[in-house]
Structure 1
Amino acid sequence: MATRTNFSMLFLVVSGIVMVMLWVLPAKADGELRETNMTVYFQDYSGGPNASSLPMVGFPGKIWSVTDFGTLLVTDDRMTEGPELTSATIGRGQGISVTGLDGLNAYVSFSIVFTNEAYNGSTIEVQGNSNQFKAVREYGVVSGTGKFRYARGYVTVETISYDRSTYYALLRVNVSVRHY
């Protein structure tokens, strides 16, 4: 009798596993891993009437700047297809950065938020720590939504130009992600 009960339980467990596999495997077959590489540009203003990147918090009694430990900057840059100011807007670069103790390194966390027709509503989530004055900074892609669901990869950010009189910086953002 015990052998018959054990066989019945084993049959139920194996049947359950097979049913789950038959249900899950087709779902995974539909979600093909893709790789996307793109270059976008952030039009960044760190001052003036069109400011899109500003220090928000720092130590009391000190000037808040990107070189002072603990300064928190918020950013909401216009993201364009090309480097020209007249280039088509395809989204926003929105996030924060916090300056480290040495005044060089900063923790950065930002979202690449798409508003263009091809990727509307999709995001790529970026974070990492690097020397904010290096010519090219690299950050990890930790997630994504919409057309970039489960994104993993990296982003490099390069300052192409900076005009001190207008506080305008042009940033080239190279994105390389794998996603479903």
Structure 2
Amino acid sequence: MASSSKLSSAFALAVVVLLLAGGVMPAAEAASAHLHFFMHDTLTGAAPTAVQVVNGPRSHFGDTIVIDDVLTAAASRSSAAVGRAKGQYVWASSGNPELLVTMEVVLTSGPFAGSSVTVVGRDDIAAPVRELSVVGGTGEFRMASGYVLWKTVSLDHPNAILELDVYVNP
């Protein structure tokens, strides 16, 4: 028994030495990131970035909209683009104006260019601030978790500008 215990300890020490010598360190906890940008959801005009693909059977319930919305650094559409929001939202309530949002926030500039964050959640559009979940991502945000605080900056029905504060734990 004593030699088995010594062998296990020696093996564990050898693994640690190999990891350190090879430059492969166990993943340290990465710093959290706060991303801030504006999403331009445009269903009308010459170049819409959101398209309704399903009409619900009554009122808006069941309406499904596919998005490829631009994300900008400021609320103005002419400000610098930082990425795209690609996904869909569905009117998922027969009473209140509530959406089920599933989208990928694809970053195209800045320190996280090439990475993405996966966002899923309920958007109660009547609330001043809504919270959605970060459930994953790619690149720097692989296996990320976190949340998005999302609010409407302007609404020119059916077009909207939303402000997103994304808090990610990579």
Letter in 2 for 1:43: H
Match of 1:39 in 2: 36
Cα offset for 1:137?
1.4
Alpha-carbon separation, structure 2, partners of 1:99 and 1:23: 54
Q: What percentage of aligned pairs have identical amino acids? A: 30
Match of 2:166 in 1: 175
Q: Does 1:100 align with 2:100?
A: no
Match of 2:140 in 1: 147
Superposition map of 1:87-166 within 5 A: 87-103=79-95, 104-164=97-157
Alpha-carbon separation, structure 2, partners of 1:19 and 1:96: 50
Among 29, 50, 53, the alignment partner of 2:50 is: 53
TM-score by length of 1: 0.78
Alpha-carbon separation, structure 2, partners of 1:51 and 1:129: 23
- The secondary structure found in structure 2 opposite 1:33 is coil
Residues 80 and 71 of structure 1: is their aligned pair in 2 closer, same or farther, counting only changes over 3 Å? same
Residues 110 and 24 of structure 1: is their aligned pair in 2 closer, same or farther, counting only changes over 3 Å? farther
Cα offset for 1:120?
1.6
Alpha-carbon separation, structure 1, partners of 2:36 and 2:110: 17
Match of 1:28 in 2: 26
Could you say which structure has the larger radius of gyration? Answer: 1
Residues 57 and 8 of structure 1: is their aligned pair in 2 closer, same or farther, counting only changes over 3 Å? farther
In the alignment, structure 2 segments of 5+ residues that lack a partner are none
Give CA deviations for 1:3-49 in whole Å, capped at 9, x if unaligned: xxx444444333333333445576136x4420222310111102233
- The secondary structure found in structure 1 opposite 2:47 is coil
Match of 1:3 in 2: none
The alignment covers a number of residue pairs equal to 166
Alpha-carbon separation, structure 1, partners of 2:78 and 2:45: 19
Match of 1:77 in 2: 69
Residues 13 and 97 of structure 1: is their aligned pair in 2 closer, same or farther, counting only changes over 3 Å? same
In the alignment, structure 1 segments of 5+ residues that lack a partner are 1-5
Cα offset for 1:110?
1.0
- The secondary structure found in structure 1 opposite 2:32 is strand
Question: What's the C-alpha RMSD, in Å, of the aligned pairs?
Answer: 2.5
| More deviation, 73-82/137-146 | 137-146
Among 8, 12, 17, the alignment partner of 2:7 is: 12
Q: Relative to total residues, which structure has the larger helix share, 1 or 2?
A: 1
Letter in 2 for 1:53: A
TM-score by length of 2: 0.82
Alpha-carbon separation, structure 2, partners of 1:20 and 1:130: 48
